[in-house]
A and B are shown apart, each in its own frame.
Chain A
Amino acid sequence: MSIQTRTHVKAAEATNPQAAAAPAAKMVARDVKVFYGAKQALKGINIDILENKVLALIGPSGCGKSTFLRCLNRMNDTIDNCRVEGLISLDGEDVYGRRIDAVQLRARVGMVFQKPNPFPKSIYDNIVYGPRIHGLASHRDEMDEIVETSLKRAGLWNEVKDRLREPGTGLSGGQQQRLCIARAIAVSPEVILMDEPCSALDPIATAHIEELIDELRENYTIVIVTHNMQQAARVSQKTAFFHLGDMVECDDTEEIFTNPRDERTQGYITGRYG
């Protein structure tokens, strides 16, 4: 990112009253553009992600919401020929800057994926994987404690406490996804990104996860991508609508669903396209 863009962003922030009125922003995105090779996937996104709130990203397939989500913890770095421009900051620190390494960033901004992807290890080892590589726990007792608290927070403890040594891949889909959430919680991130976490699950498992998201909000800031309008309405406080690489509007969830300002938003949430 060039210095010129940076000053430009600063100026925009100063004149933008909305940004000034949101002091509790955990993460801030300003004029974020993403290119895959020559193709532009995001065309300048500005969003404030508020602390201890759930932000839902909605929009038709291919609109760039997952791309944006993956910018927040630099998962796009693993994709060749992907280029990110603009400013994304976490607690005021540029995440693409020199002082933060992608590896450290991802420990602070965890991620849960569309398809449950437990490692081919035991449930216990799945949870302690993150703490171990980050040196958060060295003793057996500490690990046991992390496993217990993480699984409890993810609402999975009672179901698996007697089979912690069994492979995580042996759980049901919904349990696997909660295991993945527990795994993300175990490294005590500040922000959790969820990329359509319920799209591979049945309605009961989905209800479980939604409840969980609501509880997790107390301790974490959450960004969730979803194709399910009801889900966005149920779990989020803020909703952002993406369309063709643009963010069309971002507001309180209630506002978006009852009184959308843009007619594209209205068209999408009422099911006219997308």
Chain B
Amino acid sequence: MQITVLLLVLVGLTAAGYYMGRASAVRAVGGRIAALHSVPAYYGVYVALWAGLPAFLLFLVWGASENWIVMQMVLGALPQNMTDGSEQSLSLLKADILNIAAGISTGREPDPVVLAAAERYNMLRALGDWMLLAIGSALAVAGLSYARGRIAPDLRARNLVERVINVFLVGCSLVAILTTAGIVLSLVFEAMRFFTVYPIFDFLFGLQWSPQTAIRADQVGSSGSFGAVPLFAGTLLITLIAMLVAVPVGLMSAIYMSEYAPPRVRATMKPVLEILAGIPTVVYGFFAALTMAPFVRRLGESMGMSVSSESALAAGFVMGIMIIPFVSSLSDDVINSVPQSLRDGSYGLGATRSETIRQVVLPAALPGIVAAVMLAISRAIGETMIVTMAAGLAANLTANPLQAVTTVTTQIATLLVGDQEFDSPKTLSAFGLGLVLFVVTLSLNMIALRVVQKYREKYD
């Protein structure tokens, strides 16, 4: 309640600050706006920022630390012997206090001391919120009047405002970077926990993948074997099949669209291809599982081959189709960015269109095409759904595309589906796989970026 009021007060003061700042800037020069250092709106924003920003920062800091501060105060008031125990009993005590404070029954008769602590907790929080409202409003008003007092024709309002905006922009880009870094770090630490249970060498080079572990000591079951080579091989096989489909088809369609198609055809074809890229992969997945896989099996049988009903071929083929728009759209952009002057030069020497494409346009576009293929590969490696549905979960180590194989991502998905113990090697192995996957796709993307950068500036 108090917080809502505070935010409303802040919005009101900020808006008021804007108009007051603008008005007093205009007044300060008697209406001759040209005499101001900045445009009047900047003075408005300057005052508004002073009114809103400090109070808002206070609000953020308080919001982040309120629970902790209040809890420390509550615990400090409790008798010494209650807070002295182990870390676990302390966190149990905290949970009890919080539950009672929130009105949730803990299922047993509460200790009167805890009850009193919970009441105190609620009281302190309410007090804190009132204080926040009071201090926040005061801060906003103080900021507003300070900024207003500083307005003068030679105040460099634009520069100050732009500095604040600059900091804000830096903050936004940091959010993305820090989140990624956090995810990577958690991946690394969990993977390291896995490697303490299971040797990294056996993981990377072992030929046997069967992640089932016995839950009880007396249970009959495998002890779990985490040799990831069958998964890497399966991923490689399916990615290879997908690329064999996607790269030629995608590249040819890109060449048609950019070099041969009349503008009107191109204008319709390109969006349609890009719509293909928007189909959810699950939809491709059941197309693969229900249409493609039986088709491959029947085809194989009619030629006298034994094909399992879930085959790498079906999954890889459908994945290739999924990636076609990706390859063709990127390659089309790259081919289009080859300067017309190169084509003219080639035509001017009497080259035909196909000679020009093969010997001038494609070599010039090659770095970009390579980058497109790299990105497509990392997409294929990261694809999960199609493989889960169409290629199965059996970790066969085989190069035969007619057999069922499984991939890294599929295994990660199955390892983490359902109820898990978070410290069993079965669950932790998913982090190991995730780390490998991350390293592979990251290096592919980096190579792609490097290739593009190295050859790009040539024509500008």
Asked if B363 contacts A121 (CB within 8 A), the reply is yes
Indicate if A173 sits at the interface (CB-CB under 8 A): no
Indicate if A273 sits at the interface (CB-CB under 8 A): no
**CB of B323, distance to nearest CB on chain A (Å):** 27
For A60, the chain B residues whose CB sits under 8 A away are none
Asked if A133 contacts B349 (CB within 8 A), the reply is yes
For A121, the chain B residues whose CB sits under 8 A away are 363
Contact of B347 among A80, A106, A115, A169 (CB under 8 A): A106
Contact of A106 among B262, B350, B364 (CB under 8 A): B350
Asked if A133 contacts B458 (CB within 8 A), the reply is no
Asked if B350 contacts A103 (CB within 8 A), the reply is yes
Docked pose: A189 CA to B355 CA in angstroms: 19
Docked pose: A15 CA to B262 CA in angstroms: 44
Interface string of A130-161 (1 = CB under 8 A from B): 10011000000000000000000000000000
Asked if B345 contacts A180 (CB within 8 A), the reply is yes
Count, A-B residue pairs, CB within 8 A = 73
Asked if A80 contacts B263 (CB within 8 A), the reply is yes
Indicate if B88 sits at the interface (CB-CB under 8 A): no
* Most B Cβ at <10 Å: residue of A108, A117, A134: A117
Indicate if B343 sits at the interface (CB-CB under 8 A): yes
Contact residues of A between 94 and 108, Cβ < 8 Å to B: 103-108
Docked pose: A172 CA to B116 CA in angstroms: 86
Q: Is the interface of B mostly helix, strand, loop or mixed?
A: helix
Given the contacts A119-B360, A119-B364, A133-B359, A183 and B344 also touching, CB distance less than 8 Å: no
Docked pose: A119 CA to B364 CA in angstroms: 8
Docked pose: A129 CA to B351 CA in angstroms: 9
Asked if A75 contacts B339 (CB within 8 A), the reply is no
Asked if A129 contacts B458 (CB within 8 A), the reply is no
For B360, the chain A residues whose CB sits under 8 A away are 119, 129
Docked pose: A80 CA to B364 CA in angstroms: 24
Docked pose: A182 CA to B346 CA in angstroms: 14
Indicate if B280 sits at the interface (CB-CB under 8 A): no
Contact residues of A between 238 and 269, Cβ < 8 Å to B: none
Docked pose: A120 CA to B361 CA in angstroms: 9
Asked if A130 contacts B349 (CB within 8 A), the reply is yes
For B352, the chain A residues whose CB sits under 8 A away are 103, 133
Contact residues of B between 437 and 460, Cβ < 8 Å to A: 458
For B364, the chain A residues whose CB sits under 8 A away are 119-120
Indicate if A110 sits at the interface (CB-CB under 8 A): yes
**CB of A178, distance to nearest CB on chain B (Å):** 14
Asked if A103 contacts B348 (CB within 8 A), the reply is no
Indicate if B342 sits at the interface (CB-CB under 8 A): yes
For A134, the chain B residues whose CB sits under 8 A away are 350
For A106, the chain B residues whose CB sits under 8 A away are 347-350
For B420, the chain A residues whose CB sits under 8 A away are none
Indicate if B341 sits at the interface (CB-CB under 8 A): yes
Indicate if A111 sits at the interface (CB-CB under 8 A): yes
Docked pose: A134 CA to B364 CA in angstroms: 21
Say which size band chain A's interface belongs to: 20 to 34
Asked if B346 contacts A169 (CB within 8 A), the reply is no
Interface string of B322-366 (1 = CB under 8 A from A): 000000000000000001011111111111100100011001100
- Nearest CB to that of B341 among chain A residues? A117
Contact of B349 among A80, A110, A120, A169 (CB under 8 A): A110
Docked pose: A117 CA to B262 CA in angstroms: 25
Contact of B346 among A105, A115, A129 (CB under 8 A): A129
Docked pose: A103 CA to B353 CA in angstroms: 9
**CB of B142, distance to nearest CB on chain A (Å):** 62
Contact residues of A between 159 and 185, Cβ < 8 Å to B: 169, 180, 183-184
For B342, the chain A residues whose CB sits under 8 A away are 117, 119-120
Indicate if A35 sits at the interface (CB-CB under 8 A): no
Asked if A113 contacts B349 (CB within 8 A), the reply is no
Docked pose: A44 CA to B262 CA in angstroms: 29
Asked if B359 contacts A111 (CB within 8 A), the reply is no
Contact of B345 among A104, A113, A187 (CB under 8 A): A113
Indicate if A73 sits at the interface (CB-CB under 8 A): yes
Asked if B351 contacts A133 (CB within 8 A), the reply is yes
Asked if B349 contacts A129 (CB within 8 A), the reply is yes
**CB of B456, distance to nearest CB on chain A (Å):** 12
Asked if A183 contacts B349 (CB within 8 A), the reply is yes
Docked pose: A239 CA to B321 CA in angstroms: 59
Docked pose: A54 CA to B359 CA in angstroms: 32
For A183, the chain B residues whose CB sits under 8 A away are 345, 349
For B347, the chain A residues whose CB sits under 8 A away are 75, 78, 106
For B351, the chain A residues whose CB sits under 8 A away are 103, 129-130, 133
- Nearest CB to that of A183 among chain B residues? B349
- Nearest CB to that of B349 among chain A residues? A130
Residue pairs across A and B with Cβ atoms less than 8 A apart, 7 shown, are A103-B350, A110-B348, A118-B345, A119-B346, A120-B458, A121-B363, A184-B348
Task: Show the binding face of A for B, using Cβ within 8 Å.
Answer: 73, 75, 78, 80, 103-108, 110-113, 115, 117-121, 129-130, 133-134, 169, 180, 183-184, 187
Supplied contacts A103-B351, A117-B339, A133-B355, 6 more A-B pairs, CB within 8 Å: A78-B344, A129-B360, A130-B349, A133-B352, A169-B458, A187-B350
User: What 6 A-B pairs are tightest by C-beta distance, nearest first?
Assistant: A107-B350, A111-B348, A106-B350, A117-B341, A130-B349, A117-B345
